[in-house]
Structure 1
Amino acid sequence: MKAKTLTKDKVNIITLGCSKNLVDSEVLSGQLRANNIDVLHENKRLDHNIVVVNTCGFIDKAKEESINTILEQVDLKKRGKLDKVYVTGCLSERYRGDLESEIPEVDAWFGTMELPLMLKKFEADYKSELLGERFLSTPQHYAYLKISEGCNRTCSFCAIPLMRGTHVSRPLEDLVKEAESLVRRGVKEIMLIAQELTYYGLDLYKKRSLATLLEKLSNVEGLEWIRLHYAYPNKFPLEVLDVMRERKNICNYLDMPLQHASNNMLKAMKRQSTRQEMEELIATIREKNPGICLRTTLITGFPGETLEDVEELKDFLIRTRFDRVGIFQYSHEENTSAYSLSDNIPAEEKQRRAQEIMEVQQEISLEKNMEKVGKTFRVLIDKKEAGRYLGRTEFDSVEVDNEVIIHSTKKLTIGEFVNVKITKAYDYDLEGEVV
């Protein structure tokens, strides 16, 4: 252990996994700063003496990345580069007992809901008055807004309820105050996230209240874009579409993970929807909100998936023509109900099926992007790279969707909106010039 040379602790937070984890790290950062503790996010300079690794435990690849990151930080500690290594997040919540014995060099392990306990390690107080106050690790012009925690669904493949517990909605008033605070700090786009957006409010208000929340958020002055992620198709509250259509600052965009389209697989996954029901919902959504961008995620290689199931999924994509699709390869997770099934599809075959499905979507994506050539869109400038600007339309979310490559002879401001005429289209990106 190196002798203490720093007069004051400096904490580096490393975040792995999803945007919900990122928000947790931002909240931790805000609490530490309020206690006058220096904190950084993803600091590469190694001028800190304490590390907090916020882990992901969702699927095998995520767990492997989390463990490797912990081991890297433990190695830095052994070499005298760090004083303390703390671990929190989903992997820690799920496997704490095993990890404590396997990696004893970690100074403390914390679950997903143990922020006050973690702060005690820093001799810091949990400040409840800091409602919604976070140290943003995203660019200043966009932020995630987590509207609930946990999930009440029992999807057979999913370990999220094991790590995050049951669904707990945040009060409407708190979310509006946080949105107002974010806007005052320069945020123009807020992405609503949860394990399931469409369940919001059932626990607090005894009814699905996402539409009410959207109305209140859309009234926040200065909030330009509100984007919806992770809507569940079963019992989808259709009034959400009415609010989306009526309010100009709600993006005509919906992320609705469906996971599969074969009824056999949907039943085995305990998804509570059939292919016909999903197709009818998609048709209703497009009828109510013409031009809406629909994104989904799918799973390939679930136990018992046949080649006929894969063909049915490809047919579903051809018929429904989603704008955006992401694919996960099935991961066999302990303590889920699917764990009792035989994980009988080799990893190479899971990958082959995923690639085959994405090739179908790639063609659809190119066709849909080609339809945008010659049209002008309002674009939010995200960054400048290699002498060109990169931005997004209202139909594209951060990191997972298309980017617009922008050519401009004039200097553009990051975080500002410009009108861009699309001149070229690619499979997953667009190119255009400012008009």
Structure 2
Amino acid sequence: MENKIMNTEKTVSFITLGCKVNQYDSDAMRTLFVDGGYSQVEDDKDADVYVINTCSVTSIGDRKSRQMVRRIRRQHPDAVIAVAGCYAQLAPEVFEKMGDVDVIVGLHNRSHIVEYVEEARGAGKPLNEVVDIMKVNTFENMFVRPEGEVKTRAFIKVQEGCDNYCTFCIIPYARGRLKSRRQEDAVKEIRNLVDTGYREVVLTGIHLGNYGKDLHDGTSLSSLVSELVKIPDLLRIRLGSIESVELSEELIDIIRNEPKVCRHLHLPIQSGSDSVLRGMNRHYRLPEYKRLIAELREKIPGLALTTDLIVGFPGETEELFQETLETLKELKFSGIHVFPYSKRTGTPAAGYPNQVPNEIKKQRVHRVQELEKEISREYRARFMGKTVCVLAEEVKDGYFEGLTEEYIRVSIRSQGVERGGMYNVLIDTMTDDGLSGVLAKEE
């Protein structure tokens, strides 16, 4: 392979597919490249290096990852292409055989990606640095340093891997076992981000509720949040997705009593049918889940609850799907992320009988989405005529927008609003997917 990087000013571009954890990983690798003398450019510009952070949560993610590699190679034939992420970890041989990739790094040793890229320039063949992720027991600690315009909300990864092994999910095989970041490292990074202007952090991970259990030193999600509330200019702490069975009483107390911690929880339900939950190897049943929801709403007034749902799991009949619809109507989540079941080779569910046809899965996704619109609108209607607290994030259509602690997007139709400020907003309008209002008058 000839030397592909010719410019004195080296440039790198990132394409990120998939989840917020992947986005954090991309941001951390970008910081490494900047420290290595690279400038970041957008993916529609010519760059010396392209890093494609792949996704494998569904077969669509796999396909998009391959398509992205081919597109970048076609458009930028002389660039170095590196692939990271779940699909690169699970199927490095796919990228080796494509002939378009120079570096395959997967989900470990990403802290060395700049070195691998430099080495690959003259290697003459793909550099495959993927390791057996099941033998990795420690969190790969990387930091994100903001570049360019500072935003108000940062996603911070504090945990990697998953020990649950739901029958539909490929992610434990891609990311390996539970690995937690040292609390002091997470706090240090968040303090640095707050010093640069960030005002809200979202704690993320693959199995966030079990954060700290592998460290055996008393670290937990509760202990981390308790430290973060002490940071003076950090206005909000938001929790990413947490399994319902991992929600401790201590954490519930913190959410109830600490004003900085958003009264919003994302608790995946995945199905509203016990029969389907058993097939999924989910570690709860509906009566248990419903009791928890009722207790949370009683203990934390005004708590917003959102969820994830999979439809079309093998063996999900129309009757079982109706059970799910009735469950959703009963629990009235303020938001539902619904996905069609995707068969993932290597998972138990891929071999289950009674696979649901794609057309039926699409129809069920649509039916849940229609129900979600109705329930979400009903939920947002509660805020009409009320004052909510909004963290201003970005300008859209001439006005600042931001989120309430309940994760509702609000347009502030008033002047004098500044990015990163927290404002009391009187809600007077419902939009298609949020709310709108004006600054509330001070009494």
Aligned to 1:121: 116
Cα shift at 1:428: 2.5
TM-score when scaled to structure 1? Answer: 0.91
1:369-403 deviation line (CA, Å, top 9, x unaligned): 1110000111112211222332211111xxxxx42
Tell me if 1:212 matches 2:223.
yes
For the residues of structure 2 that align with 1:86 and 1:20, how far apart are their CA atoms? 18
Tell me if 1:418 matches 2:423.
yes
Aligned to 1:405: 411
Aligned to 1:96: 92
Q: Does the CA-based 8 Å contact 1:157-1:333 persist in structure 2? A: yes
For the residues of structure 2 that align with 1:388 and 1:133, how far apart are their CA atoms? 29
For the residues of structure 2 that align with 1:182 and 1:207, how far apart are their CA atoms? 25
TM-score when scaled to structure 2? Answer: 0.90
Aligned to 1:191: 202
1:98-130 deviation line (CA, Å, top 9, x unaligned): 2211x1121121111121442213449xxx999
Aligned to 1:317: 328
For the residues of structure 1 that align with 2:87 and 2:308, how far apart are their CA atoms? 22
Q: Does the CA-based 8 Å contact 1:202-1:209 persist in structure 2? A: yes
CA RMSD of aligned residues (A): 2.2
1:137-181 deviation line (CA, Å, top 9, x unaligned): 885211011111100111000011111110101111111111111
For the residues of structure 1 that align with 2:141 and 2:221, how far apart are their CA atoms? 24
- CA distance 1:296–1:225, shift in 2 (3 Å): same
Letter in 2 for 1:250: V
- CA distance 1:174–1:4, shift in 2 (3 Å): closer
For the residues of structure 2 that align with 1:405 and 1:220, how far apart are their CA atoms? 28
Tell me if 1:83 matches 2:89.
no
Aligned to 1:432: 437
Letter in 2 for 1:49: D
Q: Does the CA-based 8 Å contact 2:264-2:305 persist in structure 1? A: yes
Q: Does the CA-based 8 Å contact 1:52-1:85 persist in structure 2? A: yes
Aligned to 1:64: 63
For the residues of structure 1 that align with 2:16 and 2:291, how far apart are their CA atoms? 38
Question: Which of 247, 256, 260 is the aligned partner of 2:258?
Answer: 247
**Deviates further, 228-237 or 366-375:** 228-237
For the residues of structure 1 that align with 2:372 and 2:116, how far apart are their CA atoms? 48
Tell me if 1:160 matches 2:171.
yes
For the residues of structure 2 that align with 1:22 and 1:217, how far apart are their CA atoms? 22
Q: Name the SS of the counterpart of 2:428 in structure 1.
A: strand
1:281-303 deviation line (CA, Å, top 9, x unaligned): 11111111111011101000000
Cα shift at 1:213: 1.2
- Gapped runs of 5+ residues in structure 1? 397-401
- CA distance 1:308–1:206, shift in 2 (3 Å): farther
Q: Does the CA-based 8 Å contact 1:373-1:423 persist in structure 2? A: yes
Aligned to 2:102: 107
Q: Name the SS of the counterpart of 1:309 in structure 2.
A: helix
Cα shift at 1:131: 5.4
For the residues of structure 1 that align with 2:59 and 2:165, how far apart are their CA atoms? 20
- CA distance 1:208–1:133, shift in 2 (3 Å): closer
1:41-69 deviation line (CA, Å, top 9, x unaligned): x443x142211111111102222221111
For the residues of structure 1 that align with 2:117 and 2:62, how far apart are their CA atoms? 26
Identity %: 31
Q: Does the CA-based 8 Å contact 1:406-1:434 persist in structure 2? A: yes
Trace 1:319-398 onto structure 2 (pairs within 5 A).
319-342=330-353, 344-396=355-407
Aligned to 2:24: 23
1:157-208 deviation line (CA, Å, top 9, x unaligned): 0011111110101111111111111111111000011112211111112667
- CA distance 1:251–1:178, shift in 2 (3 Å): same
Letter in 2 for 1:253: H
1:22-56 deviation line (CA, Å, top 9, x unaligned): 1111111111222222234x443x14221111111
Aligned residues: 420
Q: Does the CA-based 8 Å contact 2:387-2:427 persist in structure 1? A: yes
For the residues of structure 2 that align with 1:203 and 1:2, how far apart are their CA atoms? 43
For the residues of structure 1 that align with 2:439 and 2:101, how far apart are their CA atoms? 51
Question: Which of 162, 169, 177 is the aligned partner of 2:180?
Answer: 169
**Deviates further, 180-189 or 341-350:** 341-350
